[in-house]
Structure 1
């Protein structure tokens, strides 16, 4: 997503969600990208930048796995079995570029690479905890309720 920025991993405070004019704040890569293109945050709630970093089907699951302990590529593939190898590579690269995970390559034969969570990623992971609670609380209510999902209910009415 933002190639070349992934190695600028620092600790970020919540101030970047609210202020794009403060020159003393150290902004994460995603906020730097918004500012570089002259875009202000879409609203003060911070959902735009947050969803741009963690949006999609896989990133939150991958973040959850690496928050427990550093993990190698093959281990992540086993822990999230429905993700394709191509998608796993893409998601890990985007997460590294956004500064939420760190990729460490060890100079060994065979090569070994581990992915671990950054301080910025820990902050994001902590922000997802209420969402996890909500999902667990409402899992039965949301399963199969949307059209096109397995088990979805179809209502047919007669117009005549």
Structure 2
């Protein structure tokens, strides 16, 4: 029997979802969340480093997605210093690291699609 079919809804951290796929998509779905997690898998990064890796994201969108990932417990933010400019780093939490096998599968699938039906580009043009 499928686990996700044992009830009509799933409750997680005060939110109700129609299924476990909706729960997972809310936490790591969308255009930027998985990409941010991908770039944090090898260690902590500062905001500017993430911004360089995600060239087409706006600062406002990146900031909003980082806050959401932090609220959901997938990443943590650590600030150093008493007054601006602060050094701020982002890193995966233990909970965030549980997403890495899923991210690896998505990466492999995306690579296969790019190799068979698309191509890798140097610029977005």
Q: 2: CA distance between counterparts of 1:19 and 1:128?
A: 26
CA RMSD of aligned residues (A): 2.4
Structure (1/2) with the larger strand percentage = 2
Shift of 1:53: 0.6
Shift of 1:105: 0.6
Q: 1:107 to 1:55 in 2, by over 3 A?
A: same
Task: Indicate if the aligned counterparts of 2:75 and 2:91 stay in contact, CA closer than 8 A.
Answer: yes
Which of 70, 78, 81 is equivalent to 1:96? 70
Q: Map 1:1-160 to 2 at 5 A.
A: 31-34=12-15, 39=16, 41-43=17-19, 46-107=20-81, 110-143=85-118
Q: Relative contact order (C-alpha < 8 Å, sep 6+): which is higher?
A: 1
Classify the secondary structure of the residue corresponding to 1:68.
Answer: coil
Report which of the two structures shows the higher radius of gyration computed on alpha carbons: 1
Task: Indicate if the aligned counterparts of 2:40 and 2:92 stay in contact, CA closer than 8 A.
Answer: yes
Q: Between Structure 1 and Structure 2, how many residues are aligned? A: 112
